[in-house]
A and B are shown apart, each in its own frame.
Chain A
C-alpha cells in the first residue's frame, strides 16, 4: 500500500498534457444528446428552401412566384428584387470579390440560388419550390479554365467597365474578363536561369481535381430576429462564429452588439463551414421581414453542388537537379478554377493560400510560383478541405515532382528525399518562397519510417512482383507510396494574415471559481476535434487544477472572446497558445497570492504541478485550490480580488508540423481495383497534448486522403451539370474500404509556441493524399509511367495500365 502521494500522483491527478484523457464531449454524443443546428426548434419557426438553377450559365428572363405564394403555409418568396432595396442581393466574399445572394439577372453555376421560399414547415417549402416558375435563356457554358481565358463569353459582366476595360481585381490587374488574379512569389528570372541551365530537369503537368469536404452534417442555420429588443440571434454551422458576426453586421447594418452568433455542436467541418453562404443571408433577411425565426438546412445535393468545393488546381512543374540528385530549382505554374465567384477562403494577402509552401521539406535554393485564378461556370468556394490554405495542393505538387525527378535521375525516391531534406541544423529555415520553417528533424523521422516498414524489403518484394508479372504469374502489381510533408498551419501572425481585415489572432479567457474549478472560453470552435477535452488539459498543466474541474466553452459570441475560429489547424497553434498564455497570467497572480499566504517574497515561491511552494522548503506550500479560494476570500494588499485572465495571442510565426508516410498497395491491373495492404504514418506535431486524440485525427485524415486520392471528386459534364451530386457517386469510403493504419511519431517542439505544440488535425490529409497517389504511380513505374492524375478510381487505373500496354 502506498502511503505517500508522490509528485507523479499529483501530475496524474491533473489529467494534463500528454495523457490519453477520455473525451468529455462523448457522454452527450453517445446518448444522442448532441445539440446540432437542425436540433434547434423555436416557437413558430419557419423553414427556408431554395429554388436553384438547373443551368450552369443562363440569363433569367422572369421569375413567377404567384403559384408558390398561393400555397397554404407559404409565408414569403424572396428574389433578388426583394433583396436589392436592402443592398443584400449581392454579398462580399472572403476573397475580396462579391457574390450574388440570389440570382441577379443571371446564373453562373448549376444549383445557384434563385429564390428563397419561406414556409410553415419544410414539406410545404419543398412543394412551393416546385411551383416557382423561372424562365431561363441558356448561355454558353465554360467549365474549362483554359478555355475560359480564351473565350469571348464573359461570365462576370459586372467586372467589366462600360468602355470594355478591366478594372483591377482585389489582387491586382486582370488580363481577361474571366481572369481573377495573377499571384507571383519568388525569383522568376533567376529560377528560369537555374532550371534552363541545369543538367537534369524533370517536368510534369498535373491536375488536382475538384472535390468537396462533405462533412456528414450539411450546412445550416437558424436566424431569429427579436424585434422587441432589436437583437438578432444566429445559430449555425460556423467554423468561425465571430467572423460571421462581423460579416452579418457589415452587410446588414445591424450593430455588432445586437448580433449574437452561436455555433452549436457541429457535425464535422473540414473547411465546408468556413464560408458565408446565401442561405445564411436569406434566413436573416427572412427573419427580419417576418419577425419569426427561420431555419435553413442544406440537403446533401445542395451541399455537394453549391457550398465549398476544394482544390481544382491545374499545376505545371519544372524541377532541376545535379546529376547526384541535389535539387537546384523549382518552378510551379497554377491555373486555379475558382468557379463563378471568387469565394475562396484564404487570408487576404494570399489569394492562393499558402501554395508557396510548395518547396516542401526540401532545401531548394531557388523557386518561383505563379497562380492564375479563373472564373468558370462551376460553384464558388475554394476552401481548404482538411488542410491549411492550399497546402494539400502544394504538398501533392512537390511530392509528385520529387517522384518524377527520381525517375528522371533513375534514383530511389526515398534516397532522393533524404539528400534534399532541410537539415536539422538549418532551422529556423528560410524557404526560397518566403516562409520561415520553425523546427524540424526530417532525417530522423524518415529513417524511423523506412526502418519501421522495412523499406529495402518492400523494394525487393516489389522487384520480384514485377518479374512475376512479366512472366505472367500474377496480374497484380505492388506500389510503395512515399510521402514526406511539411505543413504550414496556425494562421497566423496579424502582420500578414487577416480575413476581411480581421487579424488572425485567437483568444482565451479564464475564470477561476472560488472552490478551485474553472471555466475557459475560446474564440475557436470544435467540430469533432475534442477541444473541450484538450484545452482543459493544456490549462490543467498550466494552472495546476484538474482538467476535470475545467469547463471549456466555445462558439457563443456573446460570451466567448473574439477569435477567428477553427480551420487550417489553427486551434492548437493559436488558441492553444492563447490558453497557455492566459493560464500563465493566472499563475502569475496566483504566485503573488501564494507568497502573501506563505508570508514570503513573490520570488521565493515556485510553481510545482498543482501548487506554489517555498523555494528550498517544499513542505511549505499552497495548492492552487487554496489559492483560488484566497483570491475571493482574503483582502490582499495591492492585489485585486478574483482570479481571471484573458489572452489574445498573435502568433509570431506559423507552425510547421511534418511527417513521413508509407503506403503499400496492391493493384489489380485488369479491374483497376486497389488494395491497401499497409499504411504507416509517422507524425511530428511537436508537443503532444492528447495521444489518443492525435491518433484519432490521424486515422480520420488518412481516410479522407484515401477518399480524395482514390475516387472522391466533384465532376462536371460539358454543360456544367454536376455528375456526382449524391453519395452514390461522391465517394465516401465505408468501414469496408478502409484499412487499419499504423501510427508513429517523433517530437520536435515548436520553438515559438508557448507549449511547443504545432497542430495535427490536417497533417494526415496533407501527407496522405500524395502517399496514396504515389503508391499508384509507383506500381507502374517499372513499366514506364511518369505520372497519372487522381482520382485513382478503377477505370482510371485500368486506363493507365491499358495505355502502358499491360492488357496485352
Chain B
C-alpha cells in the first residue's frame, strides 16, 4: 500500500473530495466509494465497455483509469443522464425498442450512445454499429440496441427542429 492521495473530482455535477490510493480504479471509486453502481465491471481489460462513463467529454472505460489520473476531472455516469421524472431520450428509446435484456451492459451502452449522438446527431446504422463497437452485449445481438439509438437520434433531431 502507498500513501493516499487527496482527490477532487466532479461526478454527475456534484463535487467530490476524498483520500484514495492512486491505484484505485475509477470504476471502484464510483461503485464502492461513491455508491454510483450504474457502471458495471464486465471484463476488466477494456474490452467490454460495461464500465463506460464520460470523463472530460470523452467516453472512457473506467476500469482502465486510475483515480489518480481522474483527479480534477468531470465525470458523468448513467445516473447523471436522466432522472426518473426527466429521462434521457435514449433511456426511453431503449425501453421502447427492447434494447436491453439483462441490463448489465445497458448503463455503459446508453452512456456511450449519448456521447456518440452528441458527436454525430444523425448517424447511419453503420456509424452506430461502428461507434458502439466498444460496448459488448451478450443478450440482444445488438439489433434492438442499434434500433433504439437510431430512434433516439430521430427523436432528438425532431425535438431540436421543433424548438427552432
Given contacts A216-B50, A738-B142, A26 and B104 within 8 Å (CB-CB):
no
Q: Could you say which of B23, B45, B146 has the most chain A C-beta atoms within 10 Å of its C-beta?
A: B45
Q: Could you say which of A32, A122, A699, A732 has the most chain B C-beta atoms within 10 Å of its C-beta?
A: A32
Set B39, B84, B106, B141: member contacting A738, Cβ < 8 A: B141
- 8 Å CB contacts to A: which residues of B63-88? 77-79, 82, 84, 87
Q: Is the CB of B48 within 8 A of A727?
A: yes
Given contacts A267-B40, A267-B103, A696-B101, A735 and B95 within 8 Å (CB-CB):
no
A259: which B residues are within 8 A, CB to CB? none
Q: Is the CB of B106 within 8 A of A30?
A: yes
A299: which B residues are within 8 A, CB to CB? 44
- Does any Cβ of B come within 8 Å of A33's Cβ? yes
B135 to chain A, nearest CB (A): 8
Q: How far is the CA of A28 from the CA of B84 in the complex (A)?
A: 9
Q: How far is the CA of A702 from the CA of B141 in the complex (A)?
A: 7
- Does any Cβ of B come within 8 Å of A38's Cβ? yes
Set B38, B78, B136, B140: member contacting A727, Cβ < 8 A: B136
Interface string of A661-696 (1 = CB under 8 A from B): 000000000000000000000000000000011011
B130: which A residues are within 8 A, CB to CB? 735-736
A213 to chain B, nearest CB (A): 8
Q: Which residue of B lies closest to A698 (CB)?
A: B141
Set B43, B96, B141: member contacting A726, Cβ < 8 A: B43
Q: Is the CB of A529 within 8 A of B44?
A: no
Q: Is the CB of A36 within 8 A of B40?
A: yes
A300: which B residues are within 8 A, CB to CB? 42-45
Selected A-B contacts with CB under 8 Å, 19 pairs = A30-B95, A30-B110, A38-B40, A72-B1, A123-B23, A215-B102, A217-B102, A218-B42, A267-B104, A270-B138, A297-B41, A527-B102, A528-B103, A699-B142, A700-B101, A703-B140, A728-B45, A735-B130, A738-B141
Q: How far is the CA of A32 from the CA of B143 in the complex (A)?
A: 21
- 8 Å CB contacts to B: which residues of A722-771? 726-728, 732, 734-736, 738, 740-741
A487: which B residues are within 8 A, CB to CB? none
Q: Is the CB of A735 within 8 A of B39?
A: no
Given contacts A700-B138, A702-B141, A26 and B133 within 8 Å (CB-CB):
no
Interface string of B102-140 (1 = CB under 8 A from A): 111111001000000000000000001110111111111
Q: Is the CB of A41 within 8 A of B35?
A: yes
Q: Is the CB of B106 within 8 A of A268?
A: no
Q: How far is the CA of A31 from the CA of B102 in the complex (A)?
A: 13
B92: which A residues are within 8 A, CB to CB? 30
Q: Is the CB of B136 within 8 A of A696?
A: no
Q: Is the CB of B79 within 8 A of A30?
A: no
Given contacts A268-B139, A735-B129, A727 and B43 within 8 Å (CB-CB):
yes
Set A29, A270, A297, A703: member contacting B142, Cβ < 8 A: A703
Q: Is the CB of A732 within 8 A of B138?
A: yes
- Does any Cβ of B come within 8 Å of A365's Cβ? no
- Does any Cβ of B come within 8 Å of A530's Cβ? yes
Report the count of interface residues on B (CB-CB < 8 A): 61
- Does any Cβ of B come within 8 Å of A704's Cβ? yes
Q: How far is the CA of A124 from the CA of B110 in the complex (A)?
A: 33
Q: Is the CB of A216 within 8 A of B143?
A: no
Interface string of A283-313 (1 = CB under 8 A from B): 0000000000000010110000000000000
Q: Is the CB of B40 within 8 A of A700?
A: no
Q: How far is the CA of A518 from the CA of B106 in the complex (A)?
A: 29
Q: How far is the CA of A696 from the CA of B142 in the complex (A)?
A: 9
Set A39, A693, A735: member contacting B145, Cβ < 8 A: A735
Set B43, B91, B103: member contacting A25, Cβ < 8 A: B103
- Does any Cβ of A come within 8 Å of B37's Cβ? yes
Interface string of A10-36 (1 = CB under 8 A from B): 000000000000110111111111101
A789 to chain B, nearest CB (A): 24
- 8 Å CB contacts to B: which residues of A120-169? 121-124, 127
Q: How far is the CA of A529 from the CA of B98 in the complex (A)?
A: 11
Residues of chain A at the chain B interface (Cβ within 8 Å) = 22-23, 25-34, 36, 38-39, 41, 72, 121-124, 127, 214-218, 265-268, 270, 297, 299-300, 527-530, 692-693, 695-697, 699-704, 726-728, 732, 734-736, 738, 740-741
B65 to chain A, nearest CB (A): 16
Q: Is the CB of A32 within 8 A of B77?
A: yes
Q: How far is the CA of A472 from the CA of B18 in the complex (A)?
A: 67
A741 to chain B, nearest CB (A): 6
B147 to chain A, nearest CB (A): 9
Q: Is the CB of B41 within 8 A of A726?
A: no
Q: How far is the CA of A299 from the CA of B27 in the complex (A)?
A: 14
Q: Is the CB of B138 within 8 A of A735?
A: no
Set B42, B43, B84: member contacting A31, Cβ < 8 A: B84
B32: which A residues are within 8 A, CB to CB? 41, 121
Q: How far is the CA of A122 from the CA of B50 in the complex (A)?
A: 20
Q: Is the CB of B103 within 8 A of A34?
A: yes
Q: How far is the CA of A527 from the CA of B102 in the complex (A)?
A: 5
Given contacts A216-B136, A699-B144, A700-B139, A29 and B100 within 8 Å (CB-CB):
yes
B141 to chain A, nearest CB (A): 3
Q: Is the CB of A740 within 8 A of B103?
A: no
Q: Which residue of B lies closest to A265 (CB)?
A: B103
Residues of chain B at the chain A interface (Cβ within 8 Å) = 1, 21, 23-24, 28, 31-32, 35-45, 47-48, 50, 77-79, 82, 84, 87, 90-92, 94-96, 98, 100-107, 110, 128-130, 132-146
A738: which B residues are within 8 A, CB to CB? 129, 141-143
Q: Is the CB of B138 within 8 A of A704?
A: yes
Q: Is the CB of A26 within 8 A of B145?
A: no
A759 to chain B, nearest CB (A): 16
Q: How far is the CA of A695 from the CA of B144 in the complex (A)?
A: 9
Q: Is the CB of B104 within 8 A of A216?
A: yes
Other A-B pairs, 12, CB within 8 Å; known A34-B103, A39-B31: A27-B95, A28-B103, A30-B94, A30-B95, A32-B39, A32-B77, A39-B37, A214-B138, A217-B40, A218-B42, A735-B129, A738-B142
Q: How far is the CA of A187 from the CA of B33 in the complex (A)?
A: 63
Q: How far is the CA of A80 from the CA of B79 in the complex (A)?
A: 43
Q: Is the CB of A31 within 8 A of B38?
A: yes
Q: Is the CB of A123 within 8 A of B24?
A: yes
B43: which A residues are within 8 A, CB to CB? 300, 726-727
Q: Which residue of A lies closest to B107 (CB)?
A: A32
Given contacts A22-B96, A34-B103, A728-B47, A736 and B138 within 8 Å (CB-CB):
no
B136 to chain A, nearest CB (A): 5
A697: which B residues are within 8 A, CB to CB? 101
B143: which A residues are within 8 A, CB to CB? 699, 738, 740-741
Q: Which residue of A lies closest to B82 (CB)?
A: A31
B100: which A residues are within 8 A, CB to CB? 26, 29-30
Q: Which residue of B lies closest to A26 (CB)?
A: B95
Q: Is the CB of B102 within 8 A of A528?
A: yes
A72: which B residues are within 8 A, CB to CB? 1
Set B38, B48, B84, B141: member contacting A216, Cβ < 8 A: B48
Q: Is the CB of B141 within 8 A of A699?
A: yes
Set A32, A732, A740: member contacting B136, Cβ < 8 A: A732
Set A121, A529, A726, A735: member contacting B101, Cβ < 8 A: A529
Q: How far is the CA of A26 from the CA of B37 in the complex (A)?
A: 16
The 4 closest A-B pairs by CB, nearest first: A32-B38, A29-B103, A528-B102, A267-B104
Q: How far is the CA of A45 from the CA of B47 in the complex (A)?
A: 29
Q: Is the CB of A32 within 8 A of B37?
A: yes
Q: Is the CB of A700 within 8 A of B45?
A: no
B156 to chain A, nearest CB (A): 16
Q: Is the CB of A38 within 8 A of B141?
A: no
B41: which A residues are within 8 A, CB to CB? 38, 297
A274 to chain B, nearest CB (A): 15
Q: Is the CB of B103 within 8 A of A727?
A: no
A267: which B residues are within 8 A, CB to CB? 40, 102-104
A125 to chain B, nearest CB (A): 13
B110: which A residues are within 8 A, CB to CB? 30
Q: How far is the CA of A300 from the CA of B41 in the complex (A)?
A: 9
A23: which B residues are within 8 A, CB to CB? 95, 98
Q: Is the CB of B79 within 8 A of A32?
A: yes
B138: which A residues are within 8 A, CB to CB? 214-216, 268, 270, 700, 704, 732
